[in-house]
Amino acid sequence: MTDDIIIERAGALGRIRLNRPKAIHALTADMCRAVLDALGEWADDPSVEAVSIDHAEGRGFCAGGDIRLIAESSASDGQAARDFFRVEYSMNHRLFTFAKPVVAFMDGITMGGGVGISQPATFRVATENTRFAMPETSIGLFPDVGGGWYLSRLPGRMGQFLALTGHRLDGAECMALGLATHYLPAGALDEAKRRIAADPRGIEALLADLSAPVPEAVILAHRETIDRLFASDRLEEILDALDKDDSNFARDQRKLLATKSPQAMKVSLKLLLDGRAMPTFEDEMRQEFAVAAHVVQRPDIVEGVRAVIIDKDHAPRWDPATPQAVSDHLIDRIFAPLPADEEWNPA
């Protein structure tokens, strides 16, 4: 066990509480193992009727995964990064297949790994504080933890837009896109958690009772434009469409994409293209693990983390440096299946 996560029982409710506030509850391998173990125990325990996931204190629900570890490992042999992804993806899969109701409280920053532990939940609660994003292309990674599954199933080309840009959605926008099931005022969360602990079987009715009117979803005003500009599964065609559009929205997105890893953007587009037709979530996680295992042997993660998190100069030197230099052959190599003894399988 680790002090970075609190696993406890409240009557018939199993509670998972992220407790790493200085890192906005970013997930470590030990935290993921603790969740895996708890879910394994509770799945076979008839006295546990439901599970809740939230953060114990501080701001934000979960800012992602252990990015520094991934970058440091990528600078060497990548083994520690692969070990982290293996246990994290097993946790994601176990949540996705968990038979009992799960409620996740996405109050505050919900990014990367935070998306991975909230989206499998039966009930996903957003608030006025929610800031939901998959910003991985900024650091040379891709929207993993099931991102290829979830984002590819959003309406229109919204998933491709979010995957490439890392755009942050608020709670109302999460509701509009189906990423959240309920919208509660942040001030009502303590009461919601108290009631759920007292009556885990009544989660849906309790959340409905405490829900607030959902504000306007601003992103929907851009939906037709996003569908048009991000219509292609080829990055060069998306960039060309943005270049030819004289709207402020298009100019803003083009400027933003110029800062992202070209390799990561092409990986993300193929991930969503494949993800839409993926037969099962297990198949999705197996492919994402293979992609991650190959990506951590490439230079962009080390450079992206340096530019965004360590030096914070926000001037990454991507390799390859341009979309044209990211060949189809390179993408095929990144998506190549792993040998049977190295591939990911559910825990």
Active site residues: 65, 113, 136, 144
Quick check: helix, strand or coil at residue 119?
A: coil
What residue spans of the chain are helical by DSSP H?
29-43, 67-74, 79-97, 113-118, 147-150, 158-165, 171-177, 189-198, 203-210, 223-229, 235-244, 248-257, 262-275, 281-295, 300-305, 328-334
Contacting residues for 49 by C-beta, under 8 A, at least 6 apart: 12, 13, 100, 101, 200, 201
Instruction: Report residue 115 as tokens.
Output: 């998306």
Alpha carbon of 341 to those of 16, 86, 213: distances in Å?
Answer: 32, 13, 51
One-letter amino acid at 128 equals E
- Omega within 30 of 0 (cis) for the link into 320: yes
Distance CA 64, CA 213 (A): 29
Instruction: Classify each residue of 225-253 as buried b or exposed e, where b means 16 or more C-beta atoms within 10 Å of its C-beta.
Output: bbeebbeeeebeebbebbeebeeeebeeb
